[in-house]
């Protein structure tokens, strides 16, 4: 898959508060945040780059954010819950 720019969109029903998530204008299902724990490997930004990292912290604000570390120098990135499309539980 060729890397490409992607766009997430969150539609909020003002009457019910229900949120609908879209990826490039298509309905998007992401990993349930209840299934993500500190230490898990999460895969995010499914645009052909295969980006992933280890969850070091989980924060809840307007929605859930993961602080994800990757690389040998432990670079980090803030990842929103709706970006995570796969999770692997780390053993050990």
User: pLDDT of 59-68, one tens digit each?
Assistant: 998 889 999 9
- The per-residue pLDDT for range 27-75, each reduced to its tens digit, is 999 999 999 999 999 999 877 667 899 999 999 988 899 999 987 777 8
Across the range 80-91, mean pLDDT stands at: 90
Domain ranges of the chain: 8-88
Token digits for 61?
């604000």
Which residue's entry shows tokens 């969109």?
Answer: 9
CATH number of 8-88: 2.30.30
The average pLDDT across 74-78 equals 86
Q: What pLDDT was estimated at residue 64?
A: 96
pTM of model > 0.75? yes
């Amino acid at each position: 898959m060729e890397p490409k720019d992607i766009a997430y969109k969150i539609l909020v029903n003002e009457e019910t508060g229900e949120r609908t998530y879209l990826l490039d204008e298509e309905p998007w299902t992401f990993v349930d945040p209840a299934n993500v724990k500190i230490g898990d490997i999460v895969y995010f930004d499914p645009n052909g780059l295969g980006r992933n990292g280890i969850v070091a912290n989980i924060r809840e604000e307007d929605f859930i954010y993961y602080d994800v570390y990757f690389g040998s120098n432990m670079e980090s990135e803030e990842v929103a819950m709706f970006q995570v499309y796969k999770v692997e539980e780390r053993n050990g």
